[in-house]
Structure 1
Amino acid sequence: MGISEMRRTGEGIDERSNFIMYHKGEVAGHRGVGFLVKLNLKSQITGFEGISDRIAAIHIHLPNHSKNWTVIQVYSPTEQATRTDIDNFYNNLTEITEKYSENNLVIMGDFNAQVGARAPGEEQIIGKYGSGKRSENGKKLVTFLLENNLTILNSVFRKKPKSKWTWLSPDGKTRNEIDYILTNKVKEFSDTGIIQNLNFNTNHRMVRSCLCESGTKKPRPKAIQMNKTQISNEIWNPITAPEDLMTVATSDIDLKEKYNKIENKLKEQTRTDITKSQQTYLSEETIKLIEDRKNLITKKDKKENQKEISNLSKQIREKIRKDRIIKRNKTLENYISKTGGTKKALKELREQGKEWITKLKDKNRPTISRNKIQNIATDYYRSIYKEQNPNQTKTQLPAKQQNIYNINKIEDIPEILESEVEKSIKSQKMEKAPGPDKITNELIRGFQVNGQNRT
């Protein structure tokens, strides 16, 4: 999903729990563009590229498509902008379009232009369902389309007039189509339309295009579906739970089956803990306000409700700020009572995901390719940890120590003792991120039977 007027300064890539966010901005509170990408597409992203606070691109490889896709998000100057600003915008847009013209191209966003119905000679760039008048910015956009052989998808698919406009004036009287999706691969798309009644206070409506399915569709990997109702109703008793696990551990069943049962039980508890941690911090009053705004947006007489929607949005913003302050105070109190400090609380409250490197120099030239960035970083760390000078003399051990070393080398490695396992488990630090199995150290260390730790 591309975003115009993102209003975030600087350039950055943040990986969150279920999405990846890219943003490019230069002036605080003004302009800015970016993308939100689902986390399951992470491995298919080849790079992000920021041109200015009005133009950014994502390069991605989609399954069943031989060529990479380059998606460019734009935020064009308005009709009231200077001619210099408009010319600079289209010069930058033309430059990046020509650079990736061999790829499957999509250019989308707020063009602040009315293209209107097509004229003779424009059959290749505007579909037969274009309508309305053409503005000055619209003329500039049409020239850009002709020069780069691009088509406006909004005009290709038939829609009702009420499902075509994308912008509503502040007074609610004027409706125009100024947001578009352009491409050089029209046949790759099956539909383009408006997403109505989006529960967000904006005078724009989201435009969405659907790609055709190519080739055989691969089924999604089947995830283990947990019975949420059953899990939520279960009470995790720190006394009875370890006894159940100890019963399994001391039983005569196969070792592999025994391990799987214990692991599954721990994973059940981990999923329950994750579900609890993901609960929203918004208060019931805030949620009710959001629901009220949603009901107003879905009403037919939206013009009359516009002021009320704006007032509700202001109240929602204020309530969310207050809810964040309450969450912050509760988190600080919780960690102070548990650990006596605020370091872990502040780390949790930052609410930042994993940050990506946006670009690196490759032979004195900047690169945005994820593979190249990974290779450059790998080579850099290899050079740091590479072997020392081979001519450097090695430290010689005394003769007695050499004999002991040789004897130990011949002896068989002893089996792992139970005491060693217990010591290892007890040495694990609490409140650390779990491994791939999602089993936390608290679950492993926390089982007690008759006041004694069981490992």
Structure 2
Amino acid sequence: MGDFNAKVGQPKLEEHRITGKHGYGSRNQRGELLINYCLEKNLAIMNTYFMKKSNRKWTWIAPNGRTKNEVDFILTNQKQSITNIEIINKIEFSSDHRLVRATWLLKQPKKSRINFRNKTTKSLQTDIEKDDFLKRLEEERQPLMTLAPDELTQLYHDRLINCIQTSLKHSQKNNHNTQKSILSDTTKQLITKRTELQNIRPKTKEIKSKLSDLYKKVSKSIKEDYKKHRESKIENHIYADGSVKKAYKELRTHKNWIPKLQISDNNTALSRNQILETATTYYRKLYSSQEQEPPKTDLPSTSEVPAIDEIVIMRH
């Protein structure tokens, strides 16, 4: 960080790795040198990543009081750690520069596993996916042939990576859409018709009657579709493997196995072997324990209790 005496100006599209979208003024020759240096060292110019008003961007003012430029920058290779860049204007000292302050996040917040998504792209599985990917990639690659020789560096690399990722997602999306649905076309039409009637406001008595009938038809049709799907799966595995075990495994929607078992306050069994061993030990100890006699109580003997006289009874 410091005074680089360079004007970066407005960032260009091919500089997206090191710049944001918020520049100031125009670029000079020293600004080009700073950009090239940052591209070589993979340093992000953080002043360009945060949107500020024009009067909160400049860092140097000329002696005439009219020319203002942004020449003080903060560079880093950990741009995720900086959450804000701002100019301090209220410190009184004799200088033609203004202070630049960065808010640095020293400790990264923990990401919640609930919101975590595995974004790793899966490889192509079928020949249809591979052929579609190559065809799409060839179409996306054609515009790259028109680039000027001086642009065939970082810009070409970035666009080529973008072409590959776009083609890969397009091929996998098409394959996902071509997968056979469990619900039949008749069921989907009934669901669509039911949705249209549900959106009608207000509903007449006739519409309510049709909706009631459609609810029953949709429910019955879904059950029949799932029944056919189940029978088809079992039949295919019988012909292919001669067994229905794999079919039941594919059709299973949940697991009956206990995922974990608490052994003590600070210990939990997670693996299947640990759970089996813990449960076996507990029940072996429970049923192998000898029956204990009931505890004895010190009750007074009946022989020591004096007899009640008949005279006492007559008095009461």
Same fold? TM cut 0.5: no
Where is the strand percentage greater, Structure 1 or Structure 2? 1
TM-score, normalization by structure 2: 0.34
Q: Which TM-score applies when normalising by structure 1?
A: 0.23
Write 1 or 2 for the structure with the bigger share of helix. 2
Bigger radius of gyration among the two: 2
